[in-house]
Homo-oligomer: A and B are copies of this chain.
Amino acid sequence: MNTKDLNNEEIKKLFGATVRKLRTEKAFSQEVLAEKTGLHRTYISDVEQGERNLSLVNIFKFCNALEISPADFFKLMEEA
């Protein structure tokens, strides 16, 4: 999959789907992930729905909480 072909909506959706994939693999609830990231629970929901264009430092918070490096996160995302 070539990320160059993604439009803005697709980028957000794919990011959210990757978060959800990793979160459910680790059997975290959204609330637990909210706690680990320090972000609000409704925000986690929105991100997973692909409705948020989150910022760089929050991307890192998600990666840390999901115990994956940003590079590996995006690799997974690109493999989707």
**Contact size class for A?**
20 to 34
Contact B70 A74 (CB under 8 A): yes
Q: Closest approach, in angstroms, between the C-beta of A59 and any C-beta of chain B?
A: 7
What are the residues of chain B within 8 A of A75 when measuring CB–CB? Answer: 71
How far apart are the CA atoms of A78 and B75 in the complex, in Å? 14
Query: Per-residue CB proximity of A68-80 to B under 8 Å, as 1/0?
Result: 0111111101100
The answer to the question of A23 belonging to the interface, with a C-beta cut-off of 8 Å to chain B, is no
The answer to the question of A56 belonging to the interface, with a C-beta cut-off of 8 Å to chain B, is yes
Contact A69 B3 (CB under 8 A): yes
- 8 Å CB contact of A74 from B3, B55, B74: B74
Contact A59 B56 (CB under 8 A): yes
Q: Closest approach, in angstroms, between the C-beta of A1 and any C-beta of chain B?
A: 10
